[in-house]
Homo-oligomer: A and B are copies of this chain.
Amino acid sequence: MAEAQRASEFDLIDRIRRRVLVRDDVLLGIGDDAAVLQVPTGRCLVVAADTLNAGVHFPEDTAPADIGWKALAVNLSDLAAMGAEPAWCTLSLSLPASDERWLDGFLDGFLELAHAHRVALVGGDTTRGPLSISVTVHGFVAPGRALRRDAARVGDDVWVSGTLGDAAAALAQWREGVARDAFLRARLDRPTPRIALGRALADVAHACIDVSDGLLADLAHVCRASGVGARIELDRLPWSDALRTAFDGDARHAMQAGGGDDYELCFTASTELRDEVERAARDAATPVARIGRIVEGEAPCAVRVDGSAWQPERTGFEHFT
List chain A positions with a Cβ less than 8 A from chain B.
Answer: 6-10, 12, 27-28, 31-39, 41, 44-57, 78-79, 81-82, 84, 88, 90-92, 94-95, 97-98, 122-130, 132, 134, 136-139, 141, 146, 148-150, 208-210, 225, 318-321
| Nearest CB of chain B from residue A80's CB, rounded to whole Å | 8
A-B contact pairs, 24 of them (CB 8 A): A27-B44, A28-B148, A31-B225, A32-B150, A33-B79, A33-B149, A33-B208, A34-B46, A36-B46, A38-B45, A45-B45, A47-B90, A47-B136, A48-B123, A49-B90, A49-B91, A49-B136, A50-B125, A51-B94, A53-B94, A56-B127, A56-B128, A92-B134, A128-B319
B82 A33 Cβ-Cβ under 8 A? yes
A53 B128 Cβ-Cβ under 8 A? yes
Closest to A45 in B: B37
Given contacts A8-B321, A318-B10, A321-B8, contact A125 B45 (CB under 8 A): no
Enumerate the 7 nearest inter-chain pairs by beta-carbon distance, A residue then B residue, closest first: A53-B129, A134-B134, A34-B48, A49-B90, A98-B320, A33-B81, A136-B136
Given contacts A9-B319, A53-B94, A134-B92, contact A47 B32 (CB under 8 A): no
Partner of A41, one of B34, B36, B41: B41
Closest to A125 in B: B50
Which B residues lie within 8 Å of A98 (CB)?
A: 320
Which B residues lie within 8 Å of A124 (CB)?
A: 49
4 A-B pairs besides A128-B319, A132-B132 with CB distance below 8 A are A10-B318, A31-B225, A55-B129, A56-B127
| Nearest CB of chain B from residue A239's CB, rounded to whole Å | 24
Assembled-state Cα–Cα distance A127/B35 (Å): 26
Closest to A148 in B: B32
| Nearest CB of chain B from residue A172's CB, rounded to whole Å | 20
A82 B48 Cβ-Cβ under 8 A? no
B146 A51 Cβ-Cβ under 8 A? no
Assembled-state Cα–Cα distance A149/B31 (Å): 9
Residue among A49, A78, A139, A210 having the largest count of chain B Cβ atoms under 10 Å:
A49
Which B residues lie within 8 Å of A81 (CB)?
A: 33-34
Which B residues lie within 8 Å of A88 (CB)?
A: 47
B78 A136 Cβ-Cβ under 8 A? no
B50 A92 Cβ-Cβ under 8 A? yes
B129 A8 Cβ-Cβ under 8 A? no
Closest to A91 in B: B49
Which B residues lie within 8 Å of A132 (CB)?
A: 94, 129-130, 132, 134
Assembled-state Cα–Cα distance A134/B91 (Å): 10
Closest to A11 in B: B320
Given contacts A82-B34, A84-B34, A148-B28, contact A47 B122 (CB under 8 A): yes
Closest to A98 in B: B320
Partner of A320, one of B12, B39, B78, B149: B12
| Nearest CB of chain B from residue A5's CB, rounded to whole Å | 12
